[in-house]
Structure 1
Amino acid sequence: MTTGKWDDLLPRLASAVAMVGIGALGVWLGGLWFHALISVVVGLMVWELVTMLDTARNRSALILGVASGAAAMVAIELPASFALPLLLIPSMLGLGRMENGGVTYAVFTALIQLAGYGLMALRDDFGLTWMVWLLLVVVVTDIAGYFAGRLIGGPKLWPRVSPKKTWSGTVAGWAGSAVLAVMFAGATKAGAGLIGVSVAVSMASQIGDIAESAIKRRSGVKDSSNLIPGHGGLLDRFDGMLGAAIFIVIAGQLIGFPPGSE
């Protein structure tokens, strides 16, 4: 009876190990290598998005995916004021090519582009330490939520859209990110404000996860694609990172980052 709760643990860990290996190498190398990795991921995510929203648009999915990846790669090399309109071009291009889900495509593609740009800028401007912090907040949120949700259970967060997510798992993700923030605050010049920022990033990652689940539910699909054999697509694995990266882009305009380090 209880075995079924854990039957997705091994494939989840296997895919995580492979992606962490590739991602860790890109994050470590930084610069052009990291830009290229993120641009490829952005392009593939947009391709997945189009195939979910409008199954008849296979050729458009390829065109818009390539356009999105290229826009991300070029945008990070430009001043921010010129990068912003370039990041929105794929959204505008898709509006005329989609028969279904055009508005959802345009909004979500803009968010994917902004998240990709934010990740590249974070690595470029703040270095390896804070890129690792962001990655770990998302990973800890996911792992803490996974185990707490299965061990504790309880009321569901939003059963109509994401039937497996519980409030216990959600709160455990916040707690895990707070503990991580204390560790980073002690090892860096960041102040106690990092705890609040980390919990907010955890929340944003959960919102990103739920948003992608809502799109899949609306499209009637289980996974965003089959790019990762037997375990779904990139949007399935990086939906939380999308929410977290977008939040950092916005929060960075409101508070000094990292908090207390100035």
Structure 2
Amino acid sequence: MNELTTRIVSAIAMIAVALGVTYVGGFLFAIFVAAVATAVYWEWSKITKNWGVHWMLLGFVYCLLPALALLYLRERGEGLELVLWVFIITWATDIGAYFAGRSIGGPKLAPKISPNKTIAGLIGGMVAAAVLGGLWAWASALPPMLYMLGAPMAAAAQGGDLFESWMKRRAGVKDSGTMLPGHGGVFDRLDGLLVVAALTALIYFGAGL
């Protein structure tokens, strides 16, 4: 099995598991979120093991808040649709950025941090998230404010991606781990989702929804 096939099969499996436990919700979803957050923190700890205790504490908060955010969002009245919106925003950002970056190319977004990322990729991810996120929010009767949040959330997701890339570059590692065949570590796959989940919960809580 070549690397591309491995990545595709792994991605399908991960998406299927994520959608399944999200649909079930409740205790199973809580256990899944806790396990994933623990895996991310484990990888964070390995990356920052020589950076001082404050980085360990920062990592604990950085992993805990998105986990609590996902649990909070899933317990809303429209929790299933809302968590799926978070997933769609994150996945659309990654896919849009990948295809726009490869097909258009052009100036680099942050060459010293992540040489492969381009400004075209950033814009492509924002457009994809805006369209797909807006359509899902409308079709699922989610609050109208979510219709317009796709693009800024995509930018935030890519900010999370760049932050993790900066951490790996500082630590001198290519991937955060090896748990996911063809994808590296759990942190590698969820760097954007962590930010989107936390911001969505903050906005929801702030709006009193």
TM-score by length of structure 2 reads: 0.91
Would the aligned equivalents of 1:209 and 1:239 in 2 still touch at CA under 8 Å? yes
Deviation at 1:111, TM superposition (A): 1.6
Alignment of structure 1 residues 177-196 onto 2, 5 Å: 177-190=129-142, 192-196=144-148
Q: What is the alpha-carbon distance in structure 1 between the residues aligned to residue 141 and residue 19 of structure 2?
A: 24
Could you tell me whether the CA contact under 8 Å between 2:37 and 2:64 is conserved in 1? yes
> In the alignment, is residue 39 of structure 1 matched against residue 26 of structure 2?
no
Say whether 1:52 aligns with 2:47. Answer: yes
- Detail structure 1 runs of 4+ shifted over 6 Å in the superposition: none
- Tell me, in whole angstroms, the C-alpha distance in 2 between the residues paired with 1:116 and 1:200: 21
Tell whether 2:193 aligns with 1:235: no
**Secondary structure at the counterpart of residue 75 of structure 2:** helix
**Larger relative contact order (C-alpha < 8 A, sep ≥ 6)?**
2
Question: Residue 87 of structure 2: which of 120, 130, 135 is its match?
Answer: 135
Q: Is this contact kept in 1: 2:45–2:59, CA < 8 A?
A: no
Cα RMSD of the aligned pairs, angstroms, is 1.9
Conserved? CA contact 1:206–1:243, under 8 Å:
no
The answer on whether the counterparts of 1:122 and 1:131 sit within 8 Å (CA) in structure 2 is yes
The whole-number CA distance in structure 2 between the counterparts of 1:191 and 1:100 is 42
Q: Classify the secondary structure of the residue corresponding to 2:149.
A: helix
Q: Which amino acid aligns with 2:123?
A: V
Q: Which deviates more, 13-22 or 32-41? A: 13-22
Secondary structure of 1:163's counterpart equals strand
Structure 1 unaligned spans of 5+: 1-6, 55-98, 258-262
**TM norm structure 1:** 0.73
Counterpart AA for 1:196: M
CA deviation profile, 1:127-157 (whole Å, cap 9, x unmatched): 2111111101100110010010000001111
Instruction: Check the 8 A contact 2:135/2:147 in 1, yes or no.
Output: no
Identity %: 35
Query: Is the Cα–Cα contact under 8 Å of residues 141 and 202 in structure 1 kept in the other structure?
Result: yes
Deviation at 1:102, TM superposition (A): 2.5
